Structure 1
Amino acid sequence: MSEEDNKTLREQERQSEPRVRPAWRALVQDFEPLWFTECMNAGIIAILLHQLPYQFPGLGILSIIAFMIDFLFFIVFSLTMLTRFALYTRQAYWEITDNVQQLAQMACWTIAWLTLAALVNLIVSQAGWGGHAFTIVGYVMWWFGAAWSILTLLFVFIIIIRRQKGEAEGGQLPPMILLPIVSIATTATTGGLIACYSAGISARMAVPVIIVSFLYVGIGMFMATFMYTLLLHKLLTTGFPAPMQIASMFLFVGPMGQSAAALQLLASAASTYGRFGGYSQGIFLQASAATPLNAACVLLALLLTGMATVWAFLALFAMLEKAFNKNLSWSPTWNSIIFPLGTLTTSTLQLSIEMDSPAWRTITTALVIILVIMFFINLGFTTWNIIQGKLLIVKENPRVEEKSE
C-alpha cells in the first residue's frame, strides 16, 4: 500500500471518529510513550537511593518503594500501550511514526525496562529471599533490553530517514531525538550494574555483558556527538525551544552522563570486582589489563561528566530565563528533567567511589535530593491535570478537532 493510500485510509478513519469518547477509549487511544518517563524517573531514583554514599535507616525501604512504583507503572503503561496497538493498530502506528517526538519517545519504554532489570539485580538478587535465581532473571532481562534498545535506535532513524522527518520543527530535529541514544547508553550502564552487584554472578556470565556494554558505550557516544552537532546548530540559529518544550533541553545531559556512569561501572566490574581476572582469556581479558582500563575509563568519565554538567547549566539557564520572562509553565515534558540529571548523578556517585571523595559524595547527595523534589513536583502537576481532564484521559477527541480545522 502506497503512502497516498495510507493517508486516504487514515482520513476515512478520522471522519468516523466520535467527538466525545468514553474515558477508557480516551485513555487507550491517546496513550503516548512519553508516560514511560514516569517509570524511568522512579527507577533512577530507586537506584540512586540504594547506592547513595550517605545511608541512613529507612533509605533502603524508600528505594524499594521507588522500585515498586517503577514496576507498577511499567505494568500498567505497558498493558495500556499494547491495548492501543491491539485496538487501533494502524492508527497507533501512523500517529507515532508520523510524529518525530513520539517516535523518539518509544525508547522510553526500553529504558524503563532496563531500569527494572538493574533493580532486579541490585535489590531483589541481594535480598535474603531472592538470591542467584533473580540474578538470572535480571541477566536475561538485560540481554532482552540490549536487543530491544538497538532495534529501537535503528527503527527510529530508519523511519526518519525514509520519511525525511528531519524537516520537523522548523527544519531541525527536536531534542527528543536523543532518547534512543540514551537508551543505548542506559543498556551499558545497567550492564555495568549487573556485572558489579548481582548476587553470585560469575566471570563467565559477567564478561560478555561487559564487552557488549563497551560496544554500546561507543555507539551512544558517537551517535550523541553527531546529534549534538545538529541540535547545537539549531540552538545557535533559532534559540531555545518554546516554553512548553524548554524542559527537553535537559535531554542533552543524558548521553554524556549515562556514558560516563557506564564507563566507570564497567571498568569497576572488570577491575575491582575481578571479572576480567576470573575470566582470564586472551590478552585483554586479564587482571593485568583491568587496572589500566579502570584508570582510562575514570579519566574519560571525568571528561564526559564535565560536558554533561555544561549541558545541565545551559538547560537550567534556559528554564530560568523563561521563568524570569513569565513564559514558563508546567508541561509533561518536565518529566524529561529527572532521568537525564539522574544519569549525571550516577556518574558523580561513581566518581565519589573511585576517588573516595567527600566533595563528590556531597554533590551526589544534593543532586539526589533535587531529583526527589522534582519527582514530587511533577507527580503533583500530573495528578492535578489528570483530575481536571487535561491529561491522560481527555474525552474530547483531538482528531475530530483536527478534521474540523
Structure 2
Amino acid sequence: MTQASTGHHENTSVNGEKDTNNANIGNGTRLPLRRSAFRALVQDFGPLWFTWCMNAGVLALLTHQCPYQFPGLGIISTIFYIFDLLLFITFSIIFILRFTIFRLDAYNEIVSSQADLALCGCWPIAFLTLTSLTPLICSNAYWGRHAFTILGYVMWWIAATWSLVVLFWVFITLIRRHEASSVRLPMMVIIPAVSVSTVAVTGGVVVSDSYEISARLAVPVIIVSFMMVGLGILLGLILSTYLFHQLLALGWPPAAQTASLFIFVGPMGQSAAALQQLGAAARMYGKFAGYNKGTFLTAEAAAPLDVACILIALMLTGLGIVWSLLSVYAMIECAWKKELSWNPGWNAIIFPMGTLFTSTTLFAVSMDSPAWRVVTAGGIITLAVVFLVNLSFALTWIVQGKLLIVREDPRVKKMMEEEQKGR
C-alpha cells in the first residue's frame, strides 16, 4: 500500500529530512510555522486590544473632571484623549483588515471563543469614550463650540445603535453556539451589559457638558439613556449572579484570569455614574424645564428625579465597592501564593474601576463632600499607575515578540503537535 493511499503524509524537506517548520493541511499544501510581521499582526489581532482605548478614555475623563485641578491636568487629559483617538483609529483599521483578509476564518475564530465574542463589546465602548470626550473637550474649546456639540450628538446615536446590535449579536451567538453548563463562562460575558450602561453615562455627558445643546436635542437622549441604564443594571445583575454562583461552585478563576474579576465592578459603577449624570442633566442643567411637556418632562419632576437617581446610585456604588474589594483580595491571595504575573488581562482593572471613580466624582459634586473628593483623587492616581505598569509590560512583550506581533503561528503549531501525536 502506498503512502498516499493511507492518507498520511510525512512533512519532509527537499533533502528527505523531517520538516519541523511547516504543517500539512491535508491536500499537499504546507503552512509555514513562521509568518511575516504584517500577517502575524492582522491574523491574531483580537478585540482585547480595544481595552487600551477604553482605559485611556476613562483616564482622560477622570483627569478632566478630577475635583482637585492643577494647570497641567488639563493637558494630561488632552494627551489621554489624543492617545485614545489614535489607538482607536489604528486598532479599528487592523481589526477590519483581519476580517477583510481572512474573512470567514476570522469570524469563526471570534465566535468560537466565548471570551473573544464577549470582548467584541469593547469596540463600541472604546468609541463611546471618544463620544464623551469630543463634546466635553472639543465643544468647550474656543475653536470647537457648536460644531463639536453636533458631532458628539451624532456619535452618541451611532454608538447607541452599535452597542445594542453587538449586545444582541453576542448573546444570540452564545445561545446558539455555546453551552455554558459544559465550560466555565468567562467574566468578559458582562462586557455587553457594560456597553449599554456606557451608552447611558455618555448620553448624560453629551447633554450636560456639550456647548449650548438645546433641550429639544437633549431630552430624547436622556429618555433613551434611562432605558439603557435600566437594561445595563438588570442585565448586569443577572450575569453577575450567574458568575458569582460560578465562583462559589468552582472557586477562583485560574491565576492568569484573576484580574478579570474587576469586570464585576463595571455594570455597577457605570450605571451609578449614568443615573447621576442623567438626573443632573434633567434638573441642574434645566433640560426638562426647557422641554416642559407632559407630567414627567417638567422642572417640577426633575428635582425628585435627580434625588432618586442619587439614591439608587449610592446603592449601586456600594455593591461596586464590595466587588472591587473582592477582586483586590483575589489578587492579593494570588500574589501570596506566588502565582501572580502580568498578562494583557490586567487591562480589565482600569476601566471598571474608572467607572466607579466616575461615580464618586459625581457624588463629590452633588454632596460637596471632601471625603468623596479624596477617594476620587486617590483612585485616579492609582489607576494612572496601573496604566503605566500595563503599558511598560506590554511594550516589553511587544519588543520581545511575545505580544501583538508573534511570528510563530499558533494555529500551525497546534496542527504540527496534532500530527506528532497521530504518528
TM-score, reference length from structure 1: 0.95
Go from structure 1 to structure 2 and tell me whether the alpha carbon gap of 1:16 and 1:347 turns closer, same or farther (over 3 Å shift).
farther
Could you say what the CA RMSD is over the residues aligned between the two structures, in angstroms? Answer: 1.3
Distance 1:227 1:318 in 2: 20
The CA deviation string for residues 286-311 of structure 1, in whole angstroms up to 9 with x for no partner, is 00000000000000000000000000
Q: Where does 1:276-287 land on structure 2 (aligned, <5 Å)?
A: 276-287=288-299
Which of 75, 82, 105 pairs up with 2:96?
82
The CA deviation string for residues 62-103 of structure 1, in whole angstroms up to 9 with x for no partner, is 000000000000010000001001000111100000000000
**Equivalent position SS for 2:345:** helix
Q: Where does 1:131-280 land on structure 2 (aligned, <5 Å)?
A: 131-167=145-181, 171-280=183-292
Structure 1 match to 2:339: 327
Choose between structure 1 and 2: higher helix proportion: 1
Structure 2 match to 1:395: 407
Go from structure 1 to structure 2 and tell me whether the alpha carbon gap of 1:87 and 1:193 turns closer, same or farther (over 3 Å shift).
same
Q: Where does 1:246-395 land on structure 2 (aligned, <5 Å)?
A: 246-395=258-407
For structure 2, the residue ranges without an aligned partner over 5 or more in a row are 1-24, 419-423
Distance 2:32 2:304 in 1: 64
Q: Contact 1:274–1:287 at 8 Å: present in 2 too?
A: yes
Task: Please tell me the residue identity of whatever aligns with 1:365.
Answer: A
Say whether residues 1:125 and 2:142 are aligned partners: no
Q: Contact 1:172–1:230 at 8 Å: present in 2 too?
A: no
The CA deviation string for residues 40-81 of structure 1, in whole angstroms up to 9 with x for no partner, is 000000001111111101110100000000000001000000
Distance 2:300 2:179 in 1: 48
Percent identity between matched residues is 54
Task: Please tell me the residue identity of whatever aligns with 2:335.
Answer: A
Task: Please tell me the residue identity of whatever aligns with 1:213.
Answer: S
The CA deviation string for residues 306-351 of structure 1, in whole angstroms up to 9 with x for no partner, is 0000000000000000000000000100001000000000000000
Runs of 4+ residues over 6 Å off in structure 1? 11-15
Say whether residues 1:103 and 2:114 are aligned partners: no
Structure 1 match to 2:38: 24
TM-score, reference length from structure 2: 0.91
Distance 2:115 2:27 in 1: 23
Go from structure 1 to structure 2 and tell me whether the alpha carbon gap of 1:13 and 1:136 turns closer, same or farther (over 3 Å shift).
farther
The CA deviation string for residues 362-396 of structure 1, in whole angstroms up to 9 with x for no partner, is 00000000010000000000000000000000000
Which of 37, 52, 70 pairs up with 2:66?
52
Task: Please tell me the residue identity of whatever aligns with 2:223.
Answer: I
Distance 2:119 2:392 in 1: 22
**Equivalent position SS for 1:393:** coil
Distance 1:14 1:245 in 2: 39
Deviation at 1:401, TM superposition (A): 1.4
**Equivalent position SS for 1:260:** helix
Structure 1 match to 2:87: 73
Deviation at 1:165, TM superposition (A): 3.9
Go from structure 1 to structure 2 and tell me whether the alpha carbon gap of 1:256 and 1:16 turns closer, same or farther (over 3 Å shift).
farther
Distance 1:164 1:395 in 2: 30
Say whether residues 1:33 and 2:41 are aligned partners: no
The CA deviation string for residues 215-257 of structure 1, in whole angstroms up to 9 with x for no partner, is 0011011111111111011100111111111100000000000
Task: Please tell me the residue identity of whatever aligns with 2:237.
Answer: T
Distance 1:390 1:401 in 2: 15
Distance 1:313 1:134 in 2: 39
Task: Please tell me the residue identity of whatever aligns with 2:375.
Answer: I
Q: Which deviates the most, 12-21 or 157-166?
A: 12-21
Bigger Cα Rg: 2
**Equivalent position SS for 2:356:** helix
Q: Which deviates the most, 139-148 or 224-233?
A: 224-233
Distance 2:341 2:316 in 1: 31
Distance 1:18 1:94 in 2: 21
The CA deviation string for residues 119-177 of structure 1, in whole angstroms up to 9 with x for no partner, is 0010000000000000100110010000000110100000010113424xx63311100
Deviation at 1:14, TM superposition (A): 12
Distance 2:341 2:363 in 1: 35
